Amino acid sequence: MISEKMEKAINDQINAEMWSAYLYLSMSAYFLDQNLSGFANWMKVQYQEEVSHAMKFFGYLAERGGRVTLKPISEVPVEWSGPVEIFEETLKHERHVTSLINNLMNIAFDERDHASVSFLQWFIDEQVEEESNADEILKQLRMIGDQKHGIFFLDRELGSRTFVDSTQSE
């Protein structure tokens, strides 16, 4: 049985993951409107990843005998000044998610919930990758600057990303 404190924290995280998914879907829509289908694809894959993360938490909480309580998803932004601003926000957001996961781990330690510590380790590792990916693209965008051909080539590269549900690989 999972503690009430851990149950509440995981329910909050499910909401945060769904909000993240909605944010990335909004970013994808923005990129589609800007005729940057590769960037839109990259964000759509991010959306799919976040939904899979939420569902991993959902399944874990149910498996541990907790009650999943879904809450409303807050509104997300819909306008940005361009790709650099979006990836600055993406990196900032992923760092925020890392802090949320770290907080969950702290709660698991405090509650002496070894099963949750084990479960959360996957998310700790995943967040290292999430931050690194966003940071790499942001650095590339800053290097490209206003060079339209650079944006064009990066857009083509980002269009090749496909969704692989890494939550199912265990």
Q: Is the pLDDT of residue 170 over 60?
A: no
Comparing 165 with 63, the larger pLDDT belongs to 63
pTM for the full predicted model: 0.94
- Straight-line distance from the first to the last Cα atom of the chain, in angstroms, rounded to the nearest whole number: 22
Instruction: List, for residues 46-89, the tens digit of each pLDDT value.
Output: 999 999 999 999 999 999 999 999 999 999 999 999 999 999 99
Give the CATH number, domain containing residue 33.
Answer: 1.20.1260.10
Asked if residue 17 belongs to a domain, the reply is yes
On whether residue 54 sits in a domain, the answer given is: yes
pLDDT digits (tens, 9 = 90+) for 119-161: 999 999 999 999 999 999 999 999 999 899 999 999 999 999 9
How many structural domains does the chain have? 1
71's tokens: 């809450």
Residue-level pLDDT at 169: 62
Q: Which residues, at least 6 apart from 69, have a Cβ–Cβ distance to it below 8 Å?
A: 11
In a domain, 169, yes or no: no
Residue 16 lies in a domain: yes
Instruction: Give the pLDDT score at 114.
Output: 97
